[in-house]
Every structure is written in structure tokens, then in C-alpha cells.
Structure 1
């Protein structure tokens, strides 16, 4: 019978040969891990706890800070501004909402999260009547951003695009025909013309 080389992993000692303890294996070192991606903290937007007793018929709901809701409300004199907080009709808030975002990637991602929350029935008793996309620069939107806006348009009845308003850089909320037109379009959707 042929003898197996002792270095072979299949080598078995002969019967009666004392077993020698094998050397302890080297500890396994954990692989380097990537930092975890940030995870959403429950609902993207909470519901407001404040009551409202104004006369506005719809809410400009900012999908992110700097979306332009205060400027739109101030410039048009219509609607009431909220940012990342769903209105609660039981507390006097209008039930109709226009989600507002900037036309950059961050803005449209935030709008997509809000619209997803609404579509998933996690926004309370509200109706999204429009997506209002406020230009983030005087330049034309890139193809990727135009496609993203087109994707989002399938979630809402109407997309209202507010062009770049240069005067808002220094005087946000100053009256502007583009803001008035956007407010009129949203108001028409709420039945308040």
C-alpha cells in the first residue's frame, strides 16, 4: 500500500498512531466594510401638529428646504407654505397640496420621496393636485433631470414649471408674473379660481 505524503490534506495517520494537535488556525480578520448608506428615518415628512385658521385653499408643500414655497406664497398671495410637513385637514389645514421642489437632482429626489409617501397612503387625508418644479438655475435642465421630471409627472395630475426668477436671488417672494401664473394653475386645480 502506498503511503500518502504527510503534507497531503487527505493523509490519515495509521491506526494506533498518536494524534498530534494541529496548530490553531489564524484568526479570521474581518473584511473592511463600507460605511452604511443613510437610511430613511421612518416617514420622510411628518404631519404638522399646528392648527391653521387662514383662508388659503391649498398648501405649497416644500419637498426640501429652499424649494421656494415661501417665495411662491408671498409672490402670488395664494396658498400657505409648509416644508416637509404634511398638512392635517382636521386641524384646519387645506386638504389640497402642491408639492414644490427645485429642478436639481436633490430636489426631485425629495419630491419623489414625498410623492411615494402620499401614494403609499402615509400622508394622511390630503390630495396632491400638482408638482411644482421651480427652476434651480437659468440654464436649461439636463436630459437626465428632464427624464426624472417626466418620471415624477406620472404620479401627479399636473406638473407646473416655474422658470428661473432672477429677482428672487436677492428678494425672495417679490411679486412675479411666473409665480402668479403657477398659483393660478394650482388654484384652478383646487376649484378656487
Structure 2
């Protein structure tokens, strides 16, 4: 039993989260979702939410609101290549972190998403017109989360990055400004 009753959790295979209500058995957790319904999840399909991250998907998201409650970041934005034509970031965990030891898949995903959102925000502040986000192929969870985040934004177009250079593991984001 990894989670405590009353603990906030996020769903790894879908958007959203909830609060742990009980355990059905050693592997199945009963979670009350945001709509008040109790749902069953495999324990490995959930991750802990540290602090209040309720604003993480809103349009006025500010990374500074959650940094102190989650992980400490250096001023560096990870492995970012700043080209005069575009910015590129590699979100592979072995690039972003010194060690992945002791972290669940959900915690790793949360870290990757925070880095991406921080990178995206910085690019917007600097009026960068094109981003390349290297997310890897894997099971497609990170790619899906990134694209879901981008879908709600105005003045943005995104698509698969150049296959010859990145294979299937990257997304190009074009930002349009007035």
C-alpha cells in the first residue's frame, strides 16, 4: 500500500486526479475523482500530488506557485538548445535529472511536465516563434500530456517534428504573436 487514505493523487493514463478513499485489495485503489465519483485504479496508474497543483493546467499557470512545494530547480532549464530560429528541449529524464532512483513513473512524468511548462512559459516571455520538444516515443503518455496542454492555447500550432531528425519522438510547436 503506497498511498495513504486522504492523499491527493493524479491519474497517469488520463487527465485528472482525486483523493484516495480506500484499498479494494493490495493493487486496486478506490479514488474519489474531481466529480465526486468513486473509481477503481491500479496502484501503478496513480501518482502522488505534492502540494496544491490545482492551477497547473490553467491558462494563468505560474511555475513559481508550485516550485517550492515540489522539487527545487536550478536556474538552468535542463538541456535546452537556443538556436536563433527555434528553441529545443530534451525531456528525457536522464537528461533532466541527475538520478531517477527512488522515483515512480508518475513522479518522473510530473517532473517532465513541470519542466515543459516552465520551458513553454519562458519561450512565450521571450516571444520565441518555434519550439521543438523532444519527448521520446515510449508509451506516448508524455507526448499525449504535452499535446493536451497545448490544445487549449490560442495562437499555437503543433505537429510531429521532422521525422528525419527526431524520428517519432518530438513535437514542433509554432507560436504566433500579435
Q: Give the TM-score, by structure 2 length.
A: 0.32
Return the structure number with greater strand share.
2
Higher Cα Rg: structure 1 or 2? Answer: 1
Q: Give the TM-score, by structure 1 length.
A: 0.30
